[in-house]
Amino acid sequence: MYIDSIRFTDPPVHHRFPPLYENLGLPEVSSYIEQKYEFDFTIGKTKRTGQGGIRMYMQYEDFKVIIAGKLTGFGPKRLIELESLLMDKVKKPFLDNIEADTKSQTVFHTHFGRKDRRK
């Protein structure tokens, strides 16, 4: 399996969560920067295209590759191998994009708790 090319489709987006969630220690509700991309890869003699994203969790300085959609013929082992190959290829350009980004988009996630209805 080989990664032939990677093209970023969107600029980096900063996702910010309220401090209430940040200190829970859960990456799912921790602030992160994400960028989406398309990639071409070869498996055997077949060339295919896929879509994905990369996230950097700011508090943990941890990276995660996300593959959007299902890839036909890929089980858990092949997906792990593909994620590893993508991480090697996309991490450095992603960090370069974050540093070069002048107009970053920011998404704020807020807490919409229920108000106390007692009076």
Number of domains in the chain: 1
- Structure token digits, residue 10: 């969107």
Flag whether 116 is in a domain.
no
Quickly state the pLDDT bin for 39 (edges 50, 70, 90).
Answer: very high
Whole-angstrom distance, CA of residue 40 vs CA of residue 114: 46
Whole-angstrom distance, CA of residue 15 vs CA of residue 70: 25
Flag whether 114 is in a domain.
no
Looking at residue 93, its pLDDT comes to 94
DSSP class of residue 76 equals: H
Flag whether 119 is in a domain.
no
Whole-angstrom distance, CA of residue 86 vs CA of residue 37: 11
pLDDT of 109 strictly over 90: no
C-beta of residue 43 within 8 angstroms of C-beta of residue 75: no
Looking at residue 70, its pLDDT comes to 85
pLDDT of 5 strictly over 90: yes
Quickly state the pLDDT bin for 114 (edges 50, 70, 90).
Answer: low
Flag whether 98 is in a domain.
yes
Domain that holds residue 16: 2-108
Flag whether 13 is in a domain.
yes
